[in-house]
Amino acid sequence: MDGTNDSSQERFILLGFSNHPHLERILFVVILVAYLLTLVGNTTIILVSRLDPHLQTPMYFFLTHLSFLDLCFTTSSIPQLLYNLHGHDKTISYIGCAIQLSLFLGLGTVECLLLAVMAYDRFVAVCKPLHYMVIINPRLCLGLVLMAWGSGVANSLVMPSITMHLPRCGHHKINHFLCELPALIRIACVNTAAVEDTVFVLSVIIVLSPLIFILISYCCIVRAVLQIRSGSGLKKVFNTCGSHLTVVSLFYGNIIYMYMQPGNNSAQEQGKFLTLFYSIVTPLLNPLIYTLRNKEVKGALRRLFLHDKETRKG
């Protein structure tokens, strides 16, 4: 038997940052402020993209989904982390752990694919500008987004079901602040080589394949940019692609560094802080990056504020 007959009553202990008790109170305040700013920033991007008629384009359709994704992603782990940091209770139920793992994997999958979709959008905008509205039509946009979310749902069902049913022989202390895949695999009391091989194959498909596609897209964009003689044309390309490329660098830089670490204790400690960066800092920076580097979003915000002032005066 796998020893999971009473798994519904099982509780896990998330060790989190308990090795650094002096940091917990500081982390609580910093993470709470960052989480609230993340909620405000991404909600603002969604509202601006939906309310301003000038932003009813495929690029902002995808950006709306990215912001909604970031809202879901941070909310899947940060409230539980804040609860654990605030008090002595570090536990999470079996069901809560399974849900958190499913959301973490599923939403991570969606973000990998959505960033690749956004790279394709930028590729068509730069390399085939005259055919952009024909190629990136509403039907294709919806299909690509549904493909990304559907793949996320599929991954959120496959890996958690395998991982959560691994026998643990009473081990219930997870050396992390959330129910993350490698941390759960480490507390299993059987040979996990087959599961780790499955994780590796899925990682190549889900993480590296979209990254390769993004890199190829930007190679084509760079080649097209080198042929542009106009200074204003170059500036427009950098404005439209720079924000996305910055977000891609932040996201994939963390993911690749995090999952290529060896399984020693120092690497596990580094992994916690990298996951924290990936879970809260990246979703916090995304709306700032798209706002500060994008004149269209800044213009839309200005128009909404002016409209609001005029409405109040009237």
pLDDT in tens, 148-191: 999 999 989 888 888 888 888 878 888 888 888 888 888 888 88
Contact by Cβ (8 Å): 80, 275: no
Is residue 132 one of the residues assigned to a domain?
A: yes
CA distance 154 to 304: 38
DSSP β-bridge partners for residue 14: 174
**CA separation (Å) from 145 to 65, 148, 203, 282, 290?**
8, 5, 20, 21, 19
Angle at 48 between CA 113 and CA 72, to 5 degrees: 45
Tokens 């400690």: give the residue. Answer: 269
Q: In this predicted structure, what is the pLDDT of residue 2?
A: 44
DSSP annotation string for 151-177: HHHHHHHHHHHHHHTS--TT--EESSS
Domains: count for the chain: 1
CATH number, position 122: 1.20.1070.10
Q: How confident is the model at residue 24 (pLDDT cuts 50, 70, 90)?
A: confident
In a domain, 1, yes or no: no
- Dmax over Cα atoms in the chain, in whole Å? 72
Query: Phi and psi (nearest 5°) for 240?
Result: -80, -30
**Is residue 70 a part of any domain in this protein?**
yes
pLDDT of residue 305: 66
Q: What angle do CA 39, 41, 43 make, to 5 degrees?
A: 65
What average pLDDT does the structure give for the chain? 82
At residue 3, does pLDDT exceed 80?
no
* 2 assigned to some structural domain: no
Residue 3 lies in a domain: no
Domain that holds residue 141: 10-313
CA dist 159 and 101 (Å) reads: 9
Q: Which amino acid is located at 258 in the chain?
A: M
Q: Is residue 90 in a domain?
A: yes
Tokens 């993209």 label which residue? 49
Tokens found for residue 23: 């940091």
| Per-residue pLDDT at 4 exceeds 70 | no
Does residue 215 fall inside a structural domain?
Answer: yes
Q: In the structure encoding, which two tokens stand for residue 264, read together?
A: 């020693």
pLDDT in tens, 268-277: 666 777 788 8
Query: Within a domain: residue 5?
Result: no
User: What does the pLDDT read at residue 6?
Assistant: 47
**What is the reported pLDDT for 141?**
95
Amino acid present at 198:
T
Q: Residues 179, 19: contact at Cβ < 8 Å?
A: no
Q: Are 164 and 179 in contact (CB under 8 A)?
A: no
Contact 71, 38 (CB under 8 A): yes
Tokens 């890996």 sit at which residue?
A: 159
Alpha-carbon distance 191 to 223, whole Å?
48
Rounded to whole angstroms, how far apart are CA atoms 39 and 304? Answer: 19
* Paired residues of 173 in beta bridges: 13
Cβ atoms of 77 and 104 within 8 Å: the answer is yes
Contact partners, residue 204, CB within 8 Å, separation at least 6: none
User: Beta-carbon neighbour count of residue 33 at 10 Å?
Assistant: 11
57-71: average pLDDT: 91
φ/ψ bin of 52: left (φ > 0), alpha (ψ from -120 to 50), beta (otherwise): beta
